[in-house]
Amino acid sequence: MPDEPESTSAPCPRPTRRMDARSLRGLAHPLRMRIFELLRLDGPATATGLSERLGENTGTVSWHLRHLAGHGFIEEETGRGTKRERWWRTAGVANELNTTDFRDDPGTRGALSVYLHELVQQYAGRVTNYLSEEWDDSWRGAGTIADWSELRMTPDQLAALNAELAAVIDRHTRVAPDPDALPVVVQLQSFPRRRRGTS
């Protein structure tokens, strides 16, 4: 699962944490995932600000923020706010989830299912928001929603394709941002599809 990109022209690689069963269960909750997404995409926030955006009770959001912090996904932004109004940000670590680590573990199967379902909902929501918003022609023409369904690949070839695409994104992430640049979300979904309806 990618975190927000660094903003310097020559970023230092961030440490990567491979999520284990405990951290997966700590994140795999619809509201916690929404909170984490907002912090990743929009930067630090308070429980009050997040509760207004999410339409949730401030106490509930505060509880989930502490839960996310306890699992190392977020941290308090020290030196900002007050004892009553704490600011939270994502921790400086990239989280990596390998779903094959959990598919045969009955103790985490439910958490993995919740996590994947919510992740797909987030991806779909981002596209829906983009389509419903007003953009000038330069931005509307630069974005894309596309799919390619004629590929035929082995598992190794699919993994190699994904690695190449990730390298391209990484190369563009490391470029110093233009002052007129806006945050851009790149969503990639690549997966095998079983043939249906063939005789």
CATH number of domain containing 126: 1.10.10.10
Residue 196's pLDDT is 84
Q: Alpha-carbon distance 34 to 52, whole Å? A: 13
The rounded percent of the chain whose pLDDT value lies above 70 is 92
Q: Which domain range does residue 82 map to?
A: 16-136
pLDDT in tens, 27-78: 999 999 999 999 999 999 999 999 999 999 999 999 999 999 999 999 999 8
Residue 34 domain-assigned (yes or no): yes
Q: Is the pLDDT of residue 129 over 50?
A: yes
Residue 169 domain-assigned (yes or no): no
Q: Take residue 4 and report the two structure tokens written for it.
A: 């927000």
The rounded percent of the chain whose pLDDT value lies above 90 is 70
Longest CA–CA separation in the chain, Å? 67
pLDDT in tens, 154-199: 999 999 999 999 999 999 988 888 988 999 999 988 989 888 876 5
Among 40-54, 98-112, 123-137, the range scoring the smallest mean pLDDT is 98-112
Residue 182 domain-assigned (yes or no): no
Residue 15's pLDDT is 87
Residue 52 domain-assigned (yes or no): yes
Instruction: Locate all alpha helices (DSSP H) within 55-175, ordered by sequence.
Output: 58-70, 106-132, 137-142, 155-173
Residue 3 domain-assigned (yes or no): no
Residue 78 domain-assigned (yes or no): yes
Domains identified in the chain, total number: 1
Residue 122's pLDDT is 95
Residue 131 domain-assigned (yes or no): yes
Q: What is the dihedral of CA 128, 130, 136, 139, to 10 degrees?
A: -130
Residue 165 domain-assigned (yes or no): no
